[in-house]
Amino acid sequence: MKCASLGAALLLTAVAGFQPAFGQTLKTVQDRGVLSCGVSQGLPGFSAPDDKGNWTGLDVDVCRAIAAAVLNDPTKIKFVPLSAKDRFTALQSGEIDVLSRNSTWTLSRDTSLGLNYTGVTYYDGQGFMVRKALKVNSALELNSASVCVQTGTTNEQNLADYFKSNNMKYEVIAFATADETLKAYESGRCDVFTSDVSQLYAERLKLAKPDDHAVLPEVISKEPLGPVVRHGDDQWFDIVKWTLFAMINAEELAVTQKNVDEMAKSNKPELKRMFGTDGNLGEQLGLTKDWVTRIIKAVGNYGESFDRNVGAGSKLAISRGLNRLWNQGGIQYAPPIR
């Protein structure tokens, strides 16, 4: 099943002659009229289909924002659900235009995988979930435990590092998809389920009795999650990067989905630059002057998207924490639009 998509992707790389060059991705997407966006196979809060089959989530909002900026229509997206194992191959081979799928930014992914991370949508870290019945209060009490993990993630390596540096033994059972991993944990095959903390909260909701399970306090790694594009097309890299920055800047300037039309008429210089009433910043990206207006109309600013999908306004109810803006005690910070 997995090998089929992988094989197809490989064949694409080899035969179709996909050669990204400056400006080509934007042209391809606009000619096609649809943005092909790689997402998860269903991670509530980040990318998951709702009960009507519409994809929603923080990562999905990035796709919608890009589609709004590039195609002027946040619904013209083909969502491609990918497992952790297949996601980068799909991007390398050109099967998707952008990967927005809770993927950790690391050096090797930025270099030898031939990819470019465009920013951070969510500052995360890896944690552990256990059954409350085990009466474990700290990850340091997990010696000799069996741990379920999804293969092809940074979690797999962090796990090895953490247990090794704390001189603990463990048994790792690695599964191809998040669902298989969770099922094995729920059936009792493993004592511990490990992944990024945000994902732990999301996956916990899928369990039959979420309250029987607890997330341990330790966060053992840095997991900056963000959208990814492939090497070779700097214009596309800029567009994806600045779409996210526009959402973050909008929050900083208090531009929301509701007041965007009003704010667009503002005389404040930074708002004028942002909404294109002054200068041609959007055109420099290869888009139109009102690119930010379209983005904010489609998904709102970063804070709105966060609250709606993973924060206070969602079932996950994760606190903003590190993901607050830099001037509110967090580390979310976007370069200025000028």
Partner 1 sequence: MAGEARPPPLQAAARLRRMLGGRAGWGGLALQIIFLALLVWVGYEIVANARANLQAQRVASGFGFLGNTAGFGVSQTLIPYSESDTYARVFVVGLVNTLVVSVIGIVFATIIGFAVALGRLSPNWLLARVASGYVELIRNLPLLFQILFWYLAVLAALPGPRQSISLFGSFFLSNRGFVVPDPVPQAGFGVFVVAVVIGIVAALAIRLYARRRLYSRGERLTIWPFVLAMLLGLPLLAALLFGAPVSFEMPVLRGFNFAGGARILPEFVALTLALSTYTAAFIAEIVRAGLLSVPKGQMEAGASLGLPRGAILRLIVIPQAMRVILPPLTNQYLNLTKNSSLAVAIGYPDLFSVFAGTTLSQTGQAVEIIALTMAVYLLLSLITSAAMSFYGWRIGRSMNA
What track of x and - describes contact with partner 1 for positions 49 through 88 (by CB under 8 A)? -----------------------------------xxxxx
- Is 245:76 a contact under the CB 8 Å cutoff? no
Q: Which stretch in 28-36, 59-67, 144-152, 259-267 sits in contact with partner 1 by CB under 8 A? A: 144-152
Q: Which stretch in 49-57, 66-74, 149-157, 303-311 sits in contact with partner 1 by CB under 8 A? A: 149-157
Q: Which stretch in 180-188, 205-213, 305-313, 327-335 sits in contact with partner 1 by CB under 8 A? A: 180-188
User: What is the chain's Cα-based Rg?
Assistant: 20
- Nearest approach, Cβ of residue 33 and partner 1 (Å): 25
Angle of helix 58-71 relative to helix 234-252, nearest 10 degrees?
110
Pick from 183, 206, 273, 324: which binds partner 1 (CB under 8 A)? 183
What track of x and - describes contact with partner 1 for positions 191 through 210 (by CB under 8 A)? x-------------------
What CA–CA distance (Å, rounded) separates 71 from 34? 8
Pick from 144, 167, 267, 327: which binds partner 1 (CB under 8 A)? 144
- Nearest approach, Cβ of residue 109 and partner 1 (Å): 7
- For residue 220 the two structure tokens come to 């053992």
Pick from 89, 118, 301, 323: which binds partner 1 (CB under 8 A)? 89
Q: What angle do CA 112, 61, 258 make, to 5 degrees?
A: 145
End-to-end C-alpha distance for the chain, whole angstroms = 47
Pick from 142, 182, 197, 202: which binds partner 1 (CB under 8 A)? 142
Dihedral angle sign, alpha carbons of residues 128, 132, 138, 140: negative
Residue 21, φ and ψ in degrees, nearest 5: -135, 170
- Given the structure tokens 């090497």, which residue do they identify? 231
Residues 243-282 that bind partner 1 (CB under 8 A): none
Residues 4-43 that bind partner 1 (CB under 8 A): 6-7, 9-10, 13-15, 17-20
Number of residues that bind partner 1 (CB under 8 A): 61
List, in sequence order, the alpha helices (H) in the chain: 2-15, 24-32, 58-71, 87-92, 107-110, 154-165, 178-186, 197-204, 234-252, 260-264, 269-275, 281-284, 291-299, 302-309
Residue 118's contacts (CB-CB under 8 Å, 6 or more residues apart) are 226, 227, 228, 229, 237, 240, 241, 244
Pick from 27, 49, 113, 256: which binds partner 1 (CB under 8 A)? 113
Q: Which is nearer to partner 1, 109 or 324 (CB)?
A: 109
Footprint of partner 1 (CB under 8 A):
1-3, 6-7, 9-10, 13-15, 17-20, 84-89, 92, 108-109, 111-114, 134, 142-146, 148, 151-153, 156-157, 159-161, 164, 170-176, 180-181, 183-184, 187-189, 191, 230-232
